[in-house]
Structure 1
């Protein structure tokens, strides 16, 4: 009898050690995650309940937004943290940081006509600058683009190639009194200079139509512009939320993220409540399964002010810790009302902007998800102008999905995806109308299932995935070597 009891005790100890050391909380008795099973756990009602919750955080405060450091975003962070921690499946932490918040407003008048302009965040203030308008050549990214008589003038610059911050700095080097950046696609233009810089001059954004009209008028004669910029600055404490599965190989981490903040203008439900809730829905669904590789979820703060949260996180990891992250997936705006299914061009075949080794395989996996269902898709430029930027710069393979922002949908795209030609993917992008009503339910559901598909694949196995490149430093792409990153992956801050 004593021998039998001893054998039983050894058996129980062995099982217990297996549970604690490998898969906590009885995970060995859960099924191994598969692509079909994880996708089947994704329910539209759960997704919509999540985005409605984010809307309620915006509605509850006078600001009516979820900008980082504000009450709506604080509520968002606390809710995400508590929801994920309550599963018991993850180790969850809030990563505290302090960043400079800026809010700016602009007024422009050209030859007595008021123009609708948006001040760039972090722009220096300006009080009734009255000066002649000159036009920069090309995109204003080099000193040679600025006329010899730029000093004391306000310079008009077309969007493109380099960051808004770089344009403002180049204008400052040319001793301009101010800068106006006009859009290179239809629609208004709002953005950020990415931070304070002594080289910057007061900078505002203008629509393509108004910008082209001004350029034409300058070519015909002298144009006088009056420019006012009001800028507010405040250091704000804020947080990333990081959650890693308690089970799985923690030396082979699959990481994914979405930014949790909005712009000042509105609640940011597509940008980027859609991505935040998409990955949260997958995180909750994953708790039904065991896995081989650990999965780490991240909800980034302060993306809209220059990728501040994700950059802070990556910079907090040494090479050894970051090397454990085998790939990073980014999801920003996956419920655009006039959507297109877009996959980041990891192999560079469409835009000649390649990611680190493994980025191509991520692209191919998402392509397979859509192809297997006969659903059209297209590549989107993989320049690093989103929260994956900091990862790419440290040589981490990256990829993700995007359903479009302010760019206008073409007739050719309508043939592929439906919707309306001549209208932006998201006409409420960075506006107060980015509410729950702005979400395309079909798009957010499909793309959340695509997230589940990829996570199930990589959480189960990295077989066939390229050996992780050595952690180091690299340019996102030589063409964009001066770009620290950009908001939302869709040219808000850059180009």
Structure 2
């Protein structure tokens, strides 16, 4: 039915329900009586009357959305058998069916579905809805209902199937991955794009009906800086700021360079005081070099590499320095030494710290009914990515898989609490997961039994043919036991899963808290090599395999369902 025809019927129907001028806007629609109603044409309505009419119709059809932006929106708000039946009745009243028999056949299906919904029988609901779709297709092909009615009912049916279908779908996961890696793109920690990713994940969890919250936490200071050789026309030298470096004010520190060799205590003389020490990498730790420079009164430290590299060395300090420390390439270090042979070289070193950045964890909780203090199961991933990378496999694949597992399990009755979590700030040191675990009470930790952590679970790189199940200590635990059993149940080849020792992801804080945890990632058998697209612009959706997403999704969904589902336990007992 066209928009013009619909609006004509909309206002004709609505006009019969309008309040008289004496009662317009005076009370809720539920207070109306037939004596309050008068007929008015659309042209006679003033704006408040139209608003009242809209409110009245929304109350009458509270399961549907009335939005018109060129096309009428018949989407349901909270799809169910009852709301679909109401939509069928509405289309029947608007003349969208060729006859009442066609509408009645569809409504009969919905009556049966209402019973299955009360029983929460997912299998029968999905089977019956698929039968409903077949009937809908037949009626549409025979022109027994309009295209508008067909599309609206089909969309609502597809949504309802999605609510009750407990099988994992890589197609749905890939849709999430497209939205994250292409729709948003790189989701670098602390950026607006990371926040967009958080909002997307939060909205998707909320659509599924979960108890959803975001947990905000402060990020470590972001250090930015520059090194300029002021005695050489402010030549810029590319630097990497050392972990644990001291900061400067906006003017930085300015001083002559002091050649300090390898940075031993003997390499410093009284002449080093007030200067910036230029030190070669090697022989002993970065921290010892910085300590010696600080003790000699240097105002800053530049460490140059001892091997050729296109990128500056990143000095890792085991403590916090009181002076600024940066790393540069071997070539740049040798160039500065060469300049010093012809005279004094002066430099300005600036390191600024941004202390305002924050990130968020997104938490969706599914609780069992009538069970106090249940055991807790975690299904997790991280949602951030590195700069310059779309973050498709790392880790849009893990987050998209977690979202689809949450959809598949939304109506599964459970006897344990399940927490689906997307962590922020993994790429800068497991900051989000570490913070989350640190905020758990001792009671929550005691009730926590297992963490399935998904990170880089979709690569299409052919050599990465094994799904590594990585524990921090290399020992098999409850994660391995459940996924191994799930894999056998699904008839997956024995060689696909591989137990291994590996950390570097968000399962580590759970392990450290005494909770069985493991990281899932596709790697090369024997070598444990990861894909070559890792942390590059090539980490795009084109290099993600839906088949591998399906494999990990099937395994984790089956493992978690078998561990937590009351229905699965009843079926197992019966067999």
Per the normalisation by structure 1, the TM-score is 0.61
Aligned to 2:415: 292
Give the 3-state SS of the residue equivalent to 1:251 in structure 2.
Answer: coil
Question: Larger Cα Rg: Structure 1 or Structure 2?
Answer: 2
Residues of 2 paired with 1:122 and 1:337: CA distance?
Answer: 37
Give the 3-state SS of the residue equivalent to 1:51 in structure 2.
Answer: helix
Alignment of 1:273-312 (within 5 A): 273-312=396-435
Aligned to 1:363: 480
User: Which sections of structure 1, spanning at least 5 residues, go unmatched?
Assistant: 1-24, 33-37, 60-64, 136-145, 160-166, 215-221, 418-423, 464-495
Residues of 2 paired with 1:155 and 1:267: CA distance?
Answer: 36
Residues of 2 paired with 1:312 and 1:46: CA distance?
Answer: 30
Residues of 2 paired with 1:202 and 1:173: CA distance?
Answer: 11
Q: CA deviation at 1:370?
A: 5.1
Do structure 1's residue 387 and structure 2's residue 506 form an aligned pair?
yes
Residues of 2 paired with 1:39 and 1:448: CA distance?
Answer: 14
Render the CA deviation track for 1:370-416: whole Å, top value 9, x for unaligned: 56422434344234x32222222221121131225xxxx68x55xxx
Give the direction of change, closer, same or farther, for the CA distance of 1:181–1:376 in structure 2 (3 Å limit).
farther
Residues of 1 paired with 2:304 and 2:458: CA distance?
Answer: 28
- Aligned residue among 155, 177, 181 for 1:55: 181
Give the 3-state SS of the residue equivalent to 2:560 in structure 1.
Answer: helix
Give the direction of change, closer, same or farther, for the CA distance of 1:398–1:227 in structure 2 (3 Å limit).
farther
Aligned to 1:453: 558
Render the CA deviation track for 1:169-221: whole Å, top value 9, x for unaligned: 4553454865769899x997998969993368635498xxx89xx9xxxxxxx
Aligned to 1:474: none
Aligned to 1:332: 455
- Aligned residue among 378, 387, 392 for 2:498: 378
Render the CA deviation track for 1:205-252: whole Å, top value 9, x for unaligned: 98xxx89xx9xxxxxxx9x9x997865524123321111113355521
Give the 3-state SS of the residue equivalent to 1:263 in structure 2.
Answer: coil
Q: CA deviation at 1:26?
A: 5.1
Give the direction of change, closer, same or farther, for the CA distance of 1:205–1:395 in structure 2 (3 Å limit).
farther
Give the 3-state SS of the residue equivalent to 2:281 in structure 1.
Answer: strand
Residues of 1 paired with 2:306 and 2:165: CA distance?
Answer: 39
Render the CA deviation track for 1:62-84: whole Å, top value 9, x for unaligned: xxx21233121111111111111
Render the CA deviation track for 1:278-301: whole Å, top value 9, x for unaligned: 111101111242222121111111
Question: Do 1:39 and 1:452's aligned partners in 2 also have CA atoms closer than 8 Å?
Answer: no
Q: CA deviation at 1:134?
A: 6.3
Aligned to 1:156: 281
Give the direction of change, closer, same or farther, for the CA distance of 1:116–1:400 in structure 2 (3 Å limit).
same
Question: Do 1:330 and 1:388's aligned partners in 2 also have CA atoms closer than 8 Å?
Answer: yes
Give the direction of change, closer, same or farther, for the CA distance of 1:258–1:150 in structure 2 (3 Å limit).
farther
Residues of 2 paired with 1:172 and 1:442: CA distance?
Answer: 51
Give the direction of change, closer, same or farther, for the CA distance of 1:237–1:116 in structure 2 (3 Å limit).
closer
Aligned to 2:545: 440
Alignment of 1:233-272 (within 5 A): 233-247=354-368, 249=371, 250-272=373-395
Residues of 2 paired with 1:239 and 1:394: CA distance?
Answer: 21
Render the CA deviation track for 1:138-186: whole Å, top value 9, x for unaligned: xxxxxxxx95557645353699xxxxxxx654553454865769899x9
CA RMSD of aligned residues (A): 4.8
Question: Do 2:378 and 2:418's aligned partners in 1 also have CA atoms closer than 8 Å?
Answer: yes
Give the direction of change, closer, same or farther, for the CA distance of 1:450–1:265 in structure 2 (3 Å limit).
same
Do structure 1's residue 319 and structure 2's residue 442 form an aligned pair?
yes
Residues of 2 paired with 1:397 and 1:382: CA distance?
Answer: 14
Render the CA deviation track for 1:416-450: whole Å, top value 9, x for unaligned: x9xxxxxx623232233322223233333322222
Question: Greater relative contact order: 1 or 2 (C-alpha under 8 angstroms, separation 6 or more)?
Answer: 1
Give the length in aligned residue pairs.
375
Residues of 1 paired with 2:521 and 2:245: CA distance?
Answer: 28
Question: Do 2:264 and 2:289's aligned partners in 1 also have CA atoms closer than 8 Å?
Answer: no
Aligned to 2:168: 42
Residues of 2 paired with 1:377 and 1:202: CA distance?
Answer: 44
Residues of 1 paired with 2:240 and 2:460: CA distance?
Answer: 24
Give the 3-state SS of the residue equivalent to 1:241 in structure 2.
Answer: strand
Do structure 1's residue 79 and structure 2's residue 200 form an aligned pair?
yes
Residues of 1 paired with 2:306 and 2:544: CA distance?
Answer: 25
Aligned to 1:396: 515
Residues of 2 paired with 1:30 and 1:91: CA distance?
Answer: 21
Give the direction of change, closer, same or farther, for the CA distance of 1:276–1:345 in structure 2 (3 Å limit).
closer
User: Which sections of structure 2, spanning at least 5 residues, go unmatched?
Assistant: 1-116, 125-163, 230-235, 269-276, 295-299, 334-340, 570-575
Which protein is richer in strand relative to its size? 1
Give the direction of change, closer, same or farther, for the CA distance of 1:170–1:381 in structure 2 (3 Å limit).
farther
Render the CA deviation track for 1:437-464: whole Å, top value 9, x for unaligned: 232333333222222132123223899x
Q: CA deviation at 1:116?
A: 8.6
Give the 3-state SS of the residue equivalent to 1:403 in structure 2.
Answer: strand
Q: CA deviation at 1:319?
A: 0.6
Give the direction of change, closer, same or farther, for the CA distance of 1:204–1:43 in structure 2 (3 Å limit).
farther
Aligned to 2:290: 172
Question: Do 2:173 and 2:404's aligned partners in 1 also have CA atoms closer than 8 Å?
Answer: yes
